[in-house]
Amino acid sequence: MKLLRYGAFGQEKPALLDAKGGLRDLSSVIPDLAGKTLGSASLAKLKALDPESLPLVQGSPRIGACVGDVHNFIAVGLNFADHAAETGAAIPKEPILFNKAPNCIVGPYDDVMIPKASVKTDWEVELAIVIGDGGSYIDEKDAMAAIAGFCVCNDVSEREFQAERGGQWAKGKGCPTFGPLGPWLVTPDEITEVQNLGMWLEVDGERVQNGSTKTMIFGAAYLVHYISQFMRLDAGDVITTGTPPGVGLGFKPPRFLKGGEVVTLGIDGLGTQKQNFVPFKAA
């Protein structure tokens, strides 16, 4: 299934993408794509539905983030061998973990705001995991069963805040709008091989990132297993798993977003995103 959320920010409704690309409203079945509605029992009920029996959404509504009410937005750093090489970093022996602020999550086509005083805002196409049946100390062999689905994430980053202002990476990762997710949450049964998905990102039409999940140092199942050793993973938690080469930081000289750019990105089978990068504006 391809699941999504549509409507005004903060008022999104759940929907299912039908075989013809139409949006079928799920709000009479589940209140939202969030928390326990992403558990395996709930998803099994959704899969059993006849999409034609659901109301067809009319018009072209805003598409929101494909998961709502996220409590934990966990990110993995330097998780692609070729990206580590472009930054001159050593291959990590264990996953590098940091947090993105859950309230930085926006829809896949929403504007992304350049923070005040930013000089090094950067782009990162990433595969994100959404947890379904979570828990602690999940065995790697059971990890895929704990996943509700996968989606595209743009792990927008401010590199000066991240690396030059002291403290942890979180400073440069959780600024408002720095977490576009979607357009769809794609259930694992639709993904033949999650460790062999093409990934790409363009800035103003120029292809800057071309990669594949096959160069991930730590795969999706291992990450779910590993992270669950340190925290309980709950339904609806998001893990964004690292980026392939081609980020602005890796260019010589480095290239960063100043505002006015259009960034487009996608992953095989998971859809595409498109964001206008704009100056910061308080909500």
Q: List pLDDT tens digits, range 66-86.
A: 999 999 999 999 899 877 777
Single-letter residue type at 161: F
**Please, what is the end-to-end C-alpha distance for the chain in angstroms?**
33
Cα distance between residue 100 and residue 130, in whole Å: 14
Per-residue pLDDT averaged across 26-51, rounded?
97
What pLDDT shows up at residue 69? 97
CATH 3.90.850.10 correct for 67-279:
yes
Phi (first) and psi of residue 15, to 5 degrees? -150, 165
Q: What is the band of 158 on the pLDDT scale with cuts at 50, 70, 90?
A: very high
Nearest-5° Cα angle at 67, 81 to 161: 50
List the chain domain ranges: 67-279
Lowest mean pLDDT among 89-98, 171-180, 212-221: 89-98
What pLDDT shows up at residue 134? 93
Strands 238-240 and 73-77: parallel
